[in-house]
Amino acid sequence: MKHFTRRSFSSLATKGILGSALLGNLPMANAFTLSDKNKKLGIALVGLGSYSTYQLAPSLQETEHCYLAGIVTGTKEKESIWKEKYNIPKQSIYNYDNFDAIVKNDTIDIVYVALPNSMHADFCIRAAKAGKHVICEKPMAVSVAECDAIINACNENNVKLSVGYRMQSDPYTKEVKKFVKEKTFGDVLFVSSDAGYISKGNPDQWRLNKKLSGGGALMNMGVYAIQTSIYGTGQNPISVSAQEFSTRPDYFKDTDETITAQFKFENGAVAHMMTSHNANGNRLKVHCSDGWFQLDPAHSYGPISGITSNGNILEFPHKRQQALQMDDFSKHILTGSKNIAPGEMGKRDMIIVEAIYKSISEGGKEQKLSLGNLGVVS
């Protein structure tokens, strides 16, 4: 982490879209019309860690509506490696200090922030002020207040915002939502979702550093379990109770290891989730009045696998979820199609995360949730 630097949010107060080409009062990045639906948008990846290296960049070789146009890294050695591998122009390579110069680069339409969680708000806001559309990797931020700051910055600068919820673009997720909406197996009664893995890596990694991650398993894999609990019922929860467990306190010194939580929903359904950095979990099962359906695995990069109580096996052609995700957001920008993972969804999930941590701090006390005003459900 020694390569990372931080910048003050206020340092760009007089910069940003003032230096970009304008069309009326809108940044050029937001000036697309329906006639541009065949255009490919340029994406710059901010942070070249494992996710960008092994998932985002390869996925951008398979996308239809966007392409890898630039990079932002704090590691000098990576500049030449990525430049050669992906034929990235020198003028589209930035570091964390000169990132704001991206405002002058018309080949970059979208900035994908894939940094440690504590750096999301900083770079999302700077990208918005530069007139670039924003994809923020999950979780959206380390607090609800930071989510609000990101949303406000994007609104004020007339740019689009999406959260890196790759599963929202996956065909298996869409099938689950269809089952729930059409009541294929009757009314949803109970949802069970597990999302976790066993961490055996460097104890100094940023995910185990609360200042960088904002939390442990809940702020990582837990977001998937929250999401599946919601689209598994088709509703936002009205309350949550939670518990925390630790079996390796010598390793998980600063962050949560394992968390379980229970949700209640307005229609009477309930859900149980488990997330962990010390237990494997990768399943969603939805119990209904007339049967059940499940995904196992449910959260991994794929291929996903599904089955229903009537013996049907769910099968869809496999494509990189990140490619589907980035194409969906690009189509939203180009054609006005639905933004399937807007910033408000990321804020909603952070409200739930904060409520889970509060419940744990209060001995598992049930926390009421008011999420209807956010305008997002599944």
Is residue 224 flagged as an active site residue? Answer: yes
Which residue among 172, 197, 224, 231 is the active-site one? 224
Burial group, residue 238, by CB count within 10 angstroms (0-12, 13-18, 19+): middle
Cis omega (within 30 of 0) for bond into 297: yes
Three-state secondary structure call for residue 312: coil
Q: Which of 145, 144, 147, 116 is nearest to 134 (CA)?
A: 147
Q: Which of 140, 125, 109, 132 is nearest to 374 (CA)?
A: 140
In the numeric block, which tokens belong to residue 245? 């467990």
Residue 236 has a pLDDT of 98
Residue 373 has a pLDDT of 86
Give residue 153's Cα distance to chain centre: 18
Q: Which of 21, 15, 3, 73 is nearest to 44 (CA)?
A: 73
DSSP structure string for 265-289 = ETTS-EEEEEEESEEEEEEEEEEET
Residue 372 has a pLDDT of 86
Say how many C-beta atoms besides its own lie within 10 A of residue 61's C-beta: 11
DSSP structure string for 52-63 = IIIIIHHHTTT-
Residue 22 has a pLDDT of 30
Q: Which of 205, 297, 318 is nearest to 252 (CA)?
A: 205
Three-state secondary structure call for residue 180: helix
- Residues 153 and 131: their CA atoms lie apart, in Å, by 10
Say how many C-beta atoms besides its own lie within 10 A of residue 335's C-beta: 14
Which residue among 78, 129, 132, 138 is the active-site one? 138
Say how many C-beta atoms besides its own lie within 10 A of residue 243's C-beta: 15
Segment (H or E) for 172: helix 171-182
* Residue pLDDT tens, the chain, 378 long: 333 333 332 333 323 333 333 333 334 444 444 445 568 999 999 999 999 999 999 999 999 999 999 999 999 999 999 999 999 999 999 999 999 999 999 999 999 999 999 999 999 999 999 999 999 999 999 999 999 999 999 999 999 999 999 999 999 999 999 999 999 999 999 999 999 999 998 999 999 999 999 999 999 999 999 999 999 999 999 999 999 999 999 999 999 999 999 999 999 999 999 999 999 999 999 999 999 999 999 999 999 999 999 999 999 999 999 999 999 999 999 999 999 999 999 999 999 999 999 999 999 999 999 998 899 999
- Residues 46 and 317: their CA atoms lie apart, in Å, by 30
- Residues 377 and 84: their CA atoms lie apart, in Å, by 43
Which domains, and CATH codes, for the chain? 9-164 (3.40.50.720), 167-310+344-374 (3.30.360.10)
